[in-house]
């Protein structure tokens, strides 16, 4: 399968970098199967950092091979388990099982207010999931260990949006 990563530069050799903010699936190298999602994120990162060029890096990844050697968590849809996992990681309080790769829906900026209401205790699980239902949430793949990163094969990169 082909996975995409958006950044302000080409990333040939992915690394695990400690984040100051809590991310959906914790610390890791994030990718998606949607080129357009990676492209939009690359523009956001380039603007936020005020340097570089919006770039999408592409990687080959063999999920079948990975299933034989990596511990993979998969959230097929936004459900209560996914929501609790995202909440705990965003609040940086997750202390459960550590996975090599985590796959599931991305809680992006379009659903930020809904997720924020849940994090603040204003929405319960059921209300949050009901509010998220109309949204088509894209996928994300979080590679959380060096072992997982070693299975990504850099293929190429391109300027986001073809510019």
pLDDT, tens digit, 9 for 90 and up, residues 122-160? 999 999 888 888 777 789 999 999 999 999 999 999 998
Q: What average pLDDT does the structure give for the chain?
A: 91
- What does the pLDDT read at residue 112? 73
State percent of the chain over pLDDT 70: 97
Phi and psi at residue 103, to the nearest 5°:
-125, 135
Cα(39)–Cα(138) distance, integer angstroms: 13
- What does the pLDDT read at residue 146? 97
Confidence (pTM) = 0.88
- What does the pLDDT read at residue 162? 56
* For the chain, domain boundaries: 2-162
- What does the pLDDT read at residue 163? 45
DSSP 58: E
State percent of the chain over pLDDT 90: 64
With CA atoms as reference, report the closest residue to 6 among 157, 152, 162: 157
């Amino acid at each position: 399968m082909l996975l995409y990563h958006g950044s302000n530069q080409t990333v040939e050799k992915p690394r695990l970098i400690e984040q100051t903010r809590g991310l959906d699936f914790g610390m890791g190298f994030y990718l998606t199967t949607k080129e357009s999602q990676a492209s939009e994120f690359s523009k956001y990162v380039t603007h936020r950092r005020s340097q570089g060029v919006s770039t999408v890096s592409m990687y080959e990844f063999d999920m079948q091979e990975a299933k034989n050697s990596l511990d993979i968590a998969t959230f097929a849809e936004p459900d209560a388990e996914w929501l609790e996992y995202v909440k705990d990681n965003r609040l940086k309080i997750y202390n459960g099982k550590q996975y090599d790769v985590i796959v599931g829906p991305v809680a992006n900026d379009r659903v930020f207010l809904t997720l924020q209401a849940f994090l603040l205790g204003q929405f319960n699980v059921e209300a949050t999931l009901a509010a998220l239902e109309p949204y088509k949430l894209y996928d994300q793949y979080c590679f959380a260990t060096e072992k997982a990163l070693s299975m990504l094969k850099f293929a190429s990169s391109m300027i986001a949006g073809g510019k």
